[in-house]
Amino acid sequence: MTIRHGSRLLLFLLLATGTLAAQAVPPRSYGDWARDLARATRDGDWEEALVATEGALALRPDYPLMLFSRAEARAHLGRPVEALADLERIAAMGVSLPVEKHFAKLLPAEKLAPILARLRETTAARGKARLVVSGGPRDFIPEGYAWDAKRKRHLLGGIHLRSIIALSEEGEVSTLVAPEQDGLWSVGGLAVDARNDWIWCASTAMVAGRATPEAVAGRAAIFAFELGTGKLAARHLLPEDGRPHALGDLLVADDAIYASDARTGQVWRLDRKSGEYRVLVREGLLESPQGMVFVEEGRAFVVASYRGPLKLVRLPSGAVSSIAHPEDVCMYGIDGLAAKGRQLVAIQNGIEPHRVVTMTLAEDLKSVSGFRILCVGDERLDEPTLGAVVGNEFRFVANSHWPAVGRTGTVRGAAKLSPPTVLAVDLP
């Protein structure tokens, strides 16, 4: 579950790790460098702007927006070759940014033209997604998805209407868990527990949820409901610690439930027997953790870090390591994550254009390769979120309509929104 406030490419705070030897001054954060950049750009101080971009990129390598800002500073400083190199990297990544608008008067037209052509090529619509099913309230704001194989139906969790709906293969809509039932807040990730015939869900009290009191905003819980009846099976409130939380995705194991916390950067472990939570991954190691998927037969899982590369979390220790990727691949903005064997499937809604991609995890779990775009530029994609592998295809929520949610929680223009829609792409 991404915490969204405005543009897809907001400059979020990144806490740098480590210490500066023999200095009491704390290390500079990504947010510090971003603020320096904003100030320098406003004042036209391009030397300082360049210093700021270098500092930020040291903390968040290959971040497209910061590469763009560095290219702008270099162009203003009369360093066109280096500026063009930054723009070529952005084009290779397939990330849409206003290159022509910002650089038409700063760089030679004959040098910029091939980059613009490459950018049009890499961001062009391609890949075919088929419509699986569509239906339900237009102001539902779907986030979570799960496939109920036993009953052949799609389950969707709603952010605004705070409920879980079911869509049959024919598109018939029914309510599994009613709005606000049993104190349910906005619903994020869903996971089917076939052994108990339950559906687990991550739930967070947020302004986007209808009728959510401001006093409880930032509370979170993990719920389980019977798939056959929709009755409450379990409810585990995250302990209050005075800070806001946002549980996004979750994984179900025999002995525990794991949930990512996008607000704090933690991953929680809920013991299924005792009902007690403990922090599996502490703060500072993940940047807004999102989708998660088990690998190595459940001995580890991969987690999408919205503002950084994929991470591997070992069990039971919670040890975290980075998963390397080719430098011409953008790994930022991943929300949903699924897998079929070592083939990972990801939804990137934190960059433009939104897309569904796949890549292969190495046997040693240390890197990914074979990056491939399965679907991009489909007009039906309006903030796609989470999905699941079903057979040989990846099914996902195509239109959460998050941009329509105002800061007060109202859904603007709900009557004109498309109903919750599930699309599918074939896996190679």
Q: What is the pLDDT of residues 89-138, one digit of tens each?
A: 999 999 999 999 999 999 999 999 999 999 999 999 999 899 999 999 99
How much of the chain exceeds pLDDT 70, in percent?
94
Q: Which of 137, 129, 170, 131 is nearest to 152 (CA)?
A: 170
Mean pLDDT across 297-325: 95
The answer, yes or no, to whether residue 6 has pLDDT greater than 80, is no
Between 23-37, 151-165, 230-244, the lowest mean confidence (pLDDT) is in 23-37
Q: Give residue 20's pLDDT band: very low, low, confident or very high (50, 70, 90).
A: very low
CA 181 to chain centre: 27
The answer, yes or no, to whether residue 322 has pLDDT greater than 80, is yes
What does the pLDDT read at residue 24?
56
Mean pLDDT across 170-191: 98
Could you tell me the maximum CA-CA distance found in the chain, to the nearest angstrom?
67
pTM: 0.91
Mean pLDDT across 336-342: 96
Which H or E element spans position 224? strand 220-226
One-letter amino acid of 353: P
Q: Give residue 25's pLDDT band: very low, low, confident or very high (50, 70, 90).
A: low
The overall average pLDDT reported for the chain is 93
User: Cα separation of 260 and 240, whole Å?
Assistant: 16
User: Cα separation of 154 and 144, whole Å?
Assistant: 10
The answer, yes or no, to whether residue 22 has pLDDT greater than 60, is no
Q: pLDDT tens digits for 282-297?
A: 999 998 999 999 999 9
Pair of tokens at residue 49:
């702007």
Q: Give residue 148's pLDDT band: very low, low, confident or very high (50, 70, 90).
A: very high
Burial class from Cβ neighbours inside 10 Å (0-12, 13-18, 19+) for residue 416 reads exposed
What does the pLDDT read at residue 413?
96
| 3-state SS class at 145 | strand
Pair of tokens at residue 63:
């971040």
User: Cα separation of 335 and 347, whole Å?
Assistant: 6
What does the pLDDT read at residue 27?
87
User: Cα separation of 343 and 40, whole Å?
Assistant: 43
Q: Give residue 3's pLDDT band: very low, low, confident or very high (50, 70, 90).
A: low
Mean pLDDT across 57-72: 95
Kindly list the distances between the CA atom of residue 240 and the CA atoms of 3, 16, 216, 283, 385, in Å, as whole numbers in the listed order: 19, 26, 10, 16, 27
Cβ atoms of 313 and 294 within 8 Å: the answer is no
The answer, yes or no, to whether residue 5 has pLDDT greater than 80, is no
Q: Give residue 327's pLDDT band: very low, low, confident or very high (50, 70, 90).
A: confident
What does the pLDDT read at residue 2?
60
The answer, yes or no, to whether residue 315 has pLDDT greater than 50, is yes
User: Cα separation of 118 and 133, whole Å?
Assistant: 35
User: Cα separation of 108 and 133, whole Å?
Assistant: 49
What does the pLDDT read at residue 21?
38
DSSP 7: S
What does the pLDDT read at residue 305?
87
What does the pLDDT read at residue 16?
32
What does the pLDDT read at residue 109?
96
Mean pLDDT across 197-216: 96
Q: pLDDT tens digits for 346-378?
A: 999 999 999 999 999 999 999 999 999 999 999
What does the pLDDT read at residue 11?
31
The answer, yes or no, to whether residue 23 has pLDDT greater than 70, is no
